[in-house]
Chains A and B, each alone.
Chain A
């Protein structure tokens, strides 16, 4: 496979990962009283599966699509307003998290312990951006902002990190394999 075909392949993977991220905002698994929304699981997986550089590109494309007004953000209407809005910080946090998770995971040669560490760091950075921005926009105190913008989600986040490890292990061969020789069906 020549260079441009590889580049095209990476591009398509990153674009589809971005579409999955967008879909993740709409998909929830109904367990217990609070359904688990899959979006930040998908953000972590973007980093784990595509690596730092392409993970960042993937989330960047998702944010770009939303910023220019295409309907990819949760809660209907997108547009640049979402970044200025109260949840805008989380969106920027997503980009930072995908990059961080990818870079740490790559430098740790995808060992499980390192991957877990990478995702913990990723989760923290999402909240660092998200909660600070929530505080700025709404004028709440930090304790209030943490109480609404972080604590209720932590159990779900731990679950997602635990789920991401086996998911990444199962999917990496598909993605790595397709950068070898392609096999046509039929």
Chain B
């Protein structure tokens, strides 16, 4: 449970690494949003670009597949559900027309997920957070600096919490928790110590943040657009335009 995803950030010099994180996120969001209207031309050109990017970033496809294996199973499930129909009795009915349409749906979802993996593999967590602040700034109500700090804390404490959960689970198994069959008490016996531990450490964390002068007027990370970003946005728009073709 230590590494949640095998595709973490890997330092490098590929074109994607050099893009500003805001550009990458804009591309990810834009292309994801437009994908439901994309047909074969769009999907093929996007696939080619994504495959080339994976290659340039030095990520093996086997790693991607290992990372999203459950998602692939789900896609398979969606494909089967959409393709197979039961007309009247128990005889399955497979239609080629439906299969083509189902393939398209699964392909689109796969593209969106692959782009997410690319973003993660080529962008530092701190930069992703910096881009987030920039995007949230124009939105009223939302305090972007607070949001960024909180997101940072989530990323910092998720592995700690998973580690503590594993520790609690091991300690309980060592004392024969499996012999208890009542699911209700199992839920409580596990959750209570976990929450108690996390919330008590919260008090300590608050003191530590205060001791280091936590304030809402903090220095934000530096980001700067370059010529590459213009080119990348241009390429993104070109790919988006292919939705006009079948």
Contact = CB atoms under 8 A, between A and B. Distances in A.
Q: Do chains A and B touch in the complex (CB under 8 A)?
A: yes
Contacts of A77: 5, 7, 67-68, 71, 113, 116-117, 120
B35 A84 contact: yes
A80 B200 contact: no
Given A68-B131, A77-B7, A86-B74, A22 B187 contact: no
B183 interface: yes
B99 interface: no
A113 interface: no
A18 B154 contact: yes
A131 interface: no
A45 B190 CA distance: 14
A71 B199 contact: no
Interface stretch (A90-98, A116-124, A162-170): A162-170
Nearest to B156: A19
Interface string B91-126: 000000000010001000100110111011001010
A16 B204 CA distance: 12
A70 B128 CA distance: 8
Nearest to B180: A31
Given A61-B151, A64-B147, A70-B128, A15 B109 contact: no
Interface string B24-44: 010011001101100000000
Nearest to A162: B184
Given A11-B149, A20-B161, A159-B187, A26 B202 contact: no
Nearest to B163: A23
B1 A167 contact: no
B155 to A, nearest CB: 6
A78 B150 contact: no
B183 A159 contact: yes
B151 A20 contact: no
A138 B117 contact: no
B45 to A, nearest CB: 18
19 contacts: A5-B210, A13-B202, A14-B150, A15-B150, A15-B153, A15-B157, A16-B157, A38-B187, A65-B154, A68-B131, A68-B132, A71-B4, A76-B7, A76-B67, A79-B116, A79-B119, A80-B29, A138-B78, A148-B81
